[in-house]
Amino acid sequence: MADGTGAVRVVLVDDHPVVRAGLRALVDGQDGIEVVGEASDLAGAERVVATERPDVVLMDLNLGDGPGGAEVTARLRALPEPPHVLVLTTYDTEADILRALDAGALGYLLKDAPADQLFAGIRATARGETVLAPSVAARLVRRAASPGPVVTEREVEVLELLSRGLGNREMARELLVSEATVKSHLSHVYTKLGVDTRAGAVAAAIERRIIRPGG
């Protein structure tokens, strides 16, 4: 592909060195897949992508204290010749999935995926095909087919802030909206989740895997 050999050039982005080492050992040289670089954060990802021009970036979502994988994905996809991004993570909440796909990720696999599924996913992503873990695809189908009102992305943000214990004023400041707007979002969330308290909303959102425990 990019190197003229037919190999899919891959960059690994994960903040844990041991995870990157394990992925490199698993993926590099596997039937036409070549790992050409690694990064642990946004700056490193931008640097190695600019230098190595990979076909695929294998992206974790939780990158420590800096920008998360969704934000890094959006930055990489905004480059003049962007690589395709395949998310590889442990998280499968609606919030994580939608944020990554909206940022421009072409695929979303979980870290417990069988090796063959990962290899096939990398090759498919390099061809520009969408790749979704079965559980992720099922979640998106259920969301689309849900007869009830769907929780919006903004309402997901409100739920995440609720789970962190923020009050209305703090949420308004975080979201750059008025307290009245926050109260309106909360009212909609309560109705959609069938609850009438903040704690109930957080519990329901976690149970339905809309958000992660702890936001």
Question: What's residue 127's pLDDT?
Answer: 94
pLDDT per 10-residue tile (average), the chain, 215 residues: 72 96 92 93 95 96 90 94 95 87 93 94 94 88 70 89 91 93 92 86 86 75
Coil/strand/helix, residue 77: helix
Question: What's residue 35's pLDDT?
Answer: 96
Task: Tell me the backbone φ, ψ of residue 154, rounded to 5 degrees.
Answer: -65, -40
Question: What's residue 148's pLDDT?
Answer: 65
Segment 189-195 long-range contacts (CB within 8 Å, at least 24 positions apart):
189/151, 189/155, 189/158, 189/159, 191/149, 192/148, 192/149, 192/150, 192/151, 192/155, 193/151
Question: What's residue 143's pLDDT?
Answer: 73
Question: What's residue 214's pLDDT?
Answer: 66
Q: Which alpha helices (DSSP H) does 65-197 contain, by range? A: 69-77, 94-103, 115-126, 134-145, 153-163, 168-175, 179-193
Q: How far is residue 132's CA from residue 135's CA, in Å, rounded to a whole number?
A: 8
Give the bridge partners for 132, in sequence order.
Answer: 108
Task: Report all structural domains of the chain as residue ranges with CATH numbers, in order of start.
Answer: 8-142 (3.40.50.2300), 153-207 (1.10.10.10)
Question: What's residue 146's pLDDT?
Answer: 66
Q: Which helix (H) or strand (E) holds 108?
A: strand 107-110
